[in-house]
Amino acid sequence: MPLRVVGVDPGLTRCGLSAVDVERNRSAQLVAVKVVGTASSEPLDQRILAIADAIDEWLDTHRPDAVAIERVFTYTNVSTVMGTAQATGVVIAAAARRNIPVALHTPTEVKAAVTGDGRADKATITAMVTRILKLDAPPKPADAADAIAIALAHAWRGAAPGSLAAASSGAQSGMTAAQRAWAQAQAKAGSTGKRAEEARLRALVKRSAR
């Protein structure tokens, strides 16, 4: 039974949403992805409400085992930071109401997990997401690819229930059946599988750069 992770690239202007199923052998399948957004000319309360409604619908439709959100890291634009933080709070609250575990991952963590390079650019992330999920076409816009990458990063490297780190630490209390199965499989696979996957990703990055 796969682990379903909803990945969120938060923002008020554009908010990327994904739902990804990840198998015990670390293979993944895209369930759905979209980008929702609001106009900067709209009142703030209406913008937040629109994002909240979209998140509620997404979680109720896809019923994930975990929610992964890109963490606010560093921006020079204060308004961008505020919008990202506000959208992040909306997502966390929506997940909490449904008792869904939430984890936040920095952009560097996401890039490293998906491409093997914590400094990868958006084009590389999009290319790797397309390869990993065997998509017919790259997900667009970039917010869509980012949301998928966040979900993958959580499943492969996150610290919340159902992720590899949680399996290694034995933190299985309160997990769903899917999360427990995932954790047990990851623990059995051990670090050998992780190293092999990282080597495979590095090889893919090198081929993409040619």
- Digitized pLDDT (tens) for each residue of the chain, 210 residues in all: 899 999 999 999 999 999 999 998 999 999 999 999 999 999 999 999 999 999 999 999 999 999 999 997 655 667 778 889 999 999 999 999 999 999 999 999 999 999 999 999 999 999 999 999 999 999 999 999 999 999 999 999 755 554 544 544 544 445 555 555 545 555 555 444 555 556 666 666 566 555
Is 143 marked within a binding site?
yes
Instruction: Give the pLDDT score at 170.
Output: 47
Give the per-residue pLDDT at 205.
Answer: 59
Structural domain boundaries of the chain?
3-209
Residue 30 has a pLDDT of 98
Contacts of 142 (CB under 8 A, 6+ apart): 122, 125, 126
pTM listed for this prediction: 0.78
Q: For residue 60, say whether it is annotated as part of any ligand binding site.
A: no
Backbone angles phi, psi at 45, to 5 degrees: -65, -35
Query: Which residues are marked as active site?
Result: 9, 70, 143
Q: What are phi and psi of 99, to 5 degrees?
A: 60, 40
The helix/strand/coil state of 170 is coil
Sign of CA dihedral 48, 53, 59, 62: negative
Fold for domain 3-209?
Answer: Nucleotidyltransferase; domain 5 (3.30.420)
d(CA 61, CA 43): 27
Give the pLDDT of residue 80: 79
Tokens of 150: 């966040």
Residues 6+ apart with CB under 8 A from 132: 28, 114, 152
Task: Return d(Cα 71, Cα 107) in angstroms, integer.
Answer: 7
Asked if residues 203 and 27 have their Cβ atoms less than 8 Å apart, the reply is no
Distances (CA, A) of 48 to 41, 52, 87, 138: 13, 6, 7, 29
Conformation bin of residue 81: beta by default, left when phi > 0, alpha when psi is -120 to 50: alpha
User: How is residue 161 written in tokens?
Assistant: 């229930």
Tell me the three state secondary structure of residue 25.
Answer: coil
Confirm whether residue 9 is marked as ligand binding.
Answer: yes
Tokens of 179: 């999360």
The pLDDT value recorded for residue 192 is 47
